[in-house]
Structure 1
Amino acid sequence: MEKPSDKPRFVTVTVSDTRTEADDASGKALVEELADFVHVRHAILPDEPARLTELVRGVIASAEADAIVFTGGTGIAPRDRTYEALSALFDKELEGFGEAFRRLSWDEVGPRSILSRATAGTVENVVVFSLPGSEKAARLGARALIAPVLSHAVDLLHGRTKHHGKHGR
């Protein structure tokens, strides 16, 4: 049986100018959907690229977590700048994450799913995921996409696993 300390550690971040701990349903949804992993802490930050960059750099510098999961700031409104802040940091972008999220969202919201700029990538040895700010989107992305790959992604980043056979098994 896997020891709790062997499980990936993650930080969650709600990007919002208006949400508080009391009404942050998306942040709570991420923690619930990723309950099989070790939640380190949660932050609520305004959609200010310098603040988001500072948080990512701080998590890396302190080796606080293996992953950071953001919710919010992924749309096309003038204030939505999370995508720009995070993608500028990525060493490797995981294009398939955004594609898969929009595909899954299509079944729930139809053509509006193309307005999402959900993204993921790696920054040094931390995997970073960014989901839309609605509770439903946060749950969907965390449950269907992040939870199934988080341990493997972290192991790959730390050189603890390799691909086997034609299908990575």
Structure 2
Amino acid sequence: MNRIDEGKAFIPVRIAVLTVSDTRRPDEDRSGDVLVARLQEAGHVLADRKILRDERAEIAGQLRAWCADDGVDVILSTGGTGLTGRDVTVEAHRDVYEKEIEAFATVFTMVSMQKIGTSAVQSRATGGVAQGTYLFALPGSPGACKDAWDEILKWQLDYRHRPCNFVEIMPRLDEHMRRK
């Protein structure tokens, strides 16, 4: 199912990591650490990393700032995708999206079902595109971050992945914003 075309060169992308939490400090950010380790191990570049509280406007503001930054191709957020009152990351992402990648949530749920069974229904992982930048909101657990990266993002963020991947269409994500 996941096939790498070794005849193509790997293209590193620049990824920003945002942890959303009212309580985590940098030295306790295991989920952020998982994402940073995996993206760097895959050969990508850590463009930036931050921790923000569960405040919708602040999260959306940071997402917009990174989308406007030419040095960021992909944003991975972790945390705030659950069902409680303070979980507002999904809403903040949707405030920013130009297009939602609905199938990301579906595939993430399929992956999660294999690991945690019906508890997967409690996740609201989401993905989208804004200003030519990919955004993905992942749950706050290290295991969920591993699953999202290992089973989906590792492959879709690799230009060599066949039959298709997110990297190959990056140059066209903002074509609607260019003059004709």
1:13 aligns with 2:18: yes
Query: Whole-Å Cα distance in 2 between the matches of residues 76 and 141 of structure 1?
Result: 19
Which TM-score applies when normalising by structure 2? 0.82
Structure 2 residues without counterparts, runs of 5 or longer:
1-7, 159-164, 174-180
- 8 Å Cα contact 2:64-2:96 kept in structure 1: no
- 8 Å Cα contact 2:18-2:78 kept in structure 1: yes
Equivalent in 116, 120, 131 of residue 109 of structure 1: 116
Partner amino acid, structure 2, of 1:51 = E
Taking only the aligned residue pairs, the percentage that are identical comes to 34
Q: Residue 39 of structure 2 corresponds to which residue in structure 1? A: 34
Kindly state the Cα deviation for residue 60 of structure 1 after the two structures are TM-superposed.
2.2
Equivalent in 38, 55, 58 of residue 51 of structure 1: 58
Query: Whole-Å Cα distance in 2 between the matches of residues 69 and 76 of structure 1?
Result: 19
Q: Deviation string for 1:23-71 (max 9, x for gaps)? A: 1000000011212211112100111111111111111222121000000
1:52-67 to structure 2, matched below 5 A, reads 52-67=59-74
Cα distance 1:2–1:38, how it changes in 2: closer, same or farther (>3 A)?
farther
Q: After TM superposition, what 4+ stretches of structure 1 lie above 2 angstroms from structure 2?
A: none
- 8 Å Cα contact 2:68-2:131 kept in structure 1: no
Q: Residue 89 of structure 1 corresponds to which residue in structure 2? A: 96
Q: Deviation string for 1:2-21 (max 9, x for gaps)? A: 58xx4110000110000011
Q: Deviation string for 1:70-116 (max 9, x for gaps)? A: 00000001100111110121111111111111111111111110110
Which TM-score applies when normalising by structure 1? 0.88
RMSD: 1.6
Q: Residue 163 of structure 1 corresponds to which residue in structure 2? A: none
Q: Residue 148 of structure 1 corresponds to which residue in structure 2? A: 155
Q: How many corresponding residue pairs?
A: 158
